[in-house]
Structure 1
Amino acid sequence: MEKPLSILICFMISISVLSAQERKTSKKILIHEAIKLETDHIFNKLVEIRRDLHENPELAGHEVRTQKIIKQHLLDLGLEVETNIYGYGIVGILKGGKKGKNIVWRAELDALPAEESGQVIFKSRKAGIWHGCGHDIHLAIALGMAEVLAKNKESLNGTIYFIFQPEEETFMGAKGMIDNGLLSKISPDEIYGLHVSALPVGQIMVRPNEMFAYQKRIRIKLKNELPIENAKELTKKIYSFLCRASTGSKPWELQAIVDPKIGLMQPNTIFKDYLIMDQNFTTYSKNGQLFLEAYLYETNSANLKDIIPKIKHIIEDSEYKDQLLSVSFIQENPTVINDERLTGIAMKTFEKIYGKDLAISDYGQVPYFNDDFAYFQQKIPGVFFFLGGSDFEKGIIAMNHTPNFEVDEESIRVGVRSFSSLMVERLNRNL
């Protein structure tokens, strides 16, 4: 018994002679080491939770079982829990040992209305419902972060609010929570979230400002019905006139986002400075009028105001000039826009703690996808990350919303460890 005691005495003496700055630095290193150890310790449990959620997915507005599981898990961790917010939303409240900032981490509850066709052994048990966007992974990461940080709460200066949001796939949940007064109740200073992506597992990608292209749905209304061929001819003119991309590039080929030469991680990526749209418009008649509709994706917000005038100009220069009734956007959701300062801080934080290879810069904007996290960012400065979920050697490709979407569960470990460390640094720094 004497030897361990002598070692402890020597350790205490060595700590006492350290400068205040050295003790502070040592404490920081220790908490991030603790985060890594705790993450490894609970990893298998998080995988089990993820697989249970995957087998029992629920559509937007029906997240009853999911809410119950998340709520109980948070209560077991000792967090305060609020559920009377919007729909089946949940907020877990983790108060640190000292007062400080209020930071939000957000995850989503709902699944997609789609059939699963992958090879996993824990397939969805519900016909036509599937976590084909990775929200089950997001939930497992958020629960893991809550557990790891709860075990280190005395080291936290401030409060973390874990928002588990319903109805993301319908783009209604975030706005619903905000409209019901959530943000006025918790007064957050910053907000963070992620989306699993087709990047390799072990990587986090982020950029300041727009993460996605601006998505709009255009509607053209004409007085009279047109023969199908005439309608196709008109929409082809509009498509040819509006679309823009760098020579030889095809930003509509989403699989190229991970291409090492032209993907998002390259400054010369094909996923910047483009406008692409549906080549085949949705065409239908109603009350003797013709409606032409299509989605379009524009990277430059300054160009959005010119789209409707350009379409009007095309039609007014055609034989259908006298038939034009209106051109309008019928859907124009906000897009995710990352705070420049917080994005830069996050990149530096990851590099300092986990090295240069963890977080990489995103040089483009992804088409087709978007996230209603954008509504939170309209009210609070925040950052939205892409988390790698693919293992190409194993044939695991985390391309969201595709029939064979699958995620390497090692991404859970990477997410919990990395973002828990980020939350600690953001709470314990007055930046």
Structure 2
Amino acid sequence: MTNGAFMTPQDHAALPPRFPQARPSACPFDPPRDYRDWQQRDGLQRVTLWNGTTAWSVTRYEDIRAVLSDPRVSADARNPGMPRLSPAGGDRADQEPPFVRLDDPEHALQRRMLTRDFTAKHAATLRPRVQQLVDEALDEMVRTGPPADLLTDFALPVPSRVIAVLLGVPYDDHAFFQDCSNKLLDLSLPAEEVRATSEAFGTYLRTLVDSKAAEPGEDLLSRLLAERVSTGELTEQQLVSMALLMLIAGHETTANTIALGTLALLRRPEQLAFLRDAEDPAVIARAIEELLRYLSVVENVVVRVAAADLTIAGEHIEAGDGIIVSLPAGNRDTALLPDRPDALDLTHNARAHLAFGFGVHQCLGQNLARMELQVAIPSLLRRLPTLRLAVPFEEVPFRQQMSVYGVTRLPVTW
């Protein structure tokens, strides 16, 4: 690693390309152009982070699968070699990491405690409730009348309500936890602000856990308290860490996929009409997989460190080297989709995409997210068949500085 603390301008000029980079303003659905260029080169690309340290960037589909399935590659956030993508990235490294930032066997032990709540079968039982929440959000949009901000009026409320019900978090607190989520995912914020947000969010969740210990409910946190914390298998701090992860991941990724996906469909009316008019659940499911592949909103999250020397794409990686995986670039690789990988085609067979990651750390909530998207987006398009942007496309603001990509608002009318 290169230490950036005492670097001259000449040193900075000689460094590898910076990371992360912004998506192109002319094609905001596409990965950054340089990431696509790196796919065409031999080996891997070395990149420079905000503090002058360097890491390996992995952008090819097969290389990503190799990295994320190699037991010599660590996800443990406590590892000193872990890449830090912002000044705040290391501030929480000494806290209890969420299970997705641990290695097996710790990771597997905690993950198994949650598996039954996120199976495809359990997600199917929640579908009627999700449909009800979607319909209620659409009813409110119609009652209020256009214009509307599709992000705050529809895309955020639906998954926020779902994860709040699942965890037992009062939805009345949604403004607080959505604000905390935004700040914790913002790579541009000062470390002090992120630290204060993390502490406030942790305090909120600890208070919530304490209240459930006193008065259990029919929710996931209450179940874990009774079944795991009471037996000593899980500490209260580990439960708080789990809750924080699930609350953020459970609404941010789905909400941004709903909003960004709707925007992408508005730009391609024939694709929008295809999904709006589809009645076969299998056709709808396939279309949602293509939206997940094409958008790949999980952008600057998947970081790893080599726990031993290894070789990826012919490149020698030394133990302690940081590794950054670009899921959006991997999902545009011809190795995944030989036929027009940069096109949004809802008939594509995109099931093997990387939007939920790969390997043992693949997203636990993917079945729930898929179901929510299969309900929310078609319902929106059918209820508001004349849906359109209320501003020019060029005026839609994108979340370039965030770990989860999307839009900051989406003005629409109908």
Q: How does the TM-score come out when normalised to structure 2?
A: 0.25
Q: RCO (CA 8 Å, sep 6+): is it higher in 1 or 2?
A: 2
Kindly indicate which of the two structures has a greater share of residues assigned to helix: 2
The structure that has the greater radius of gyration is 1
Q: How does the TM-score come out when normalised to structure 1?
A: 0.24
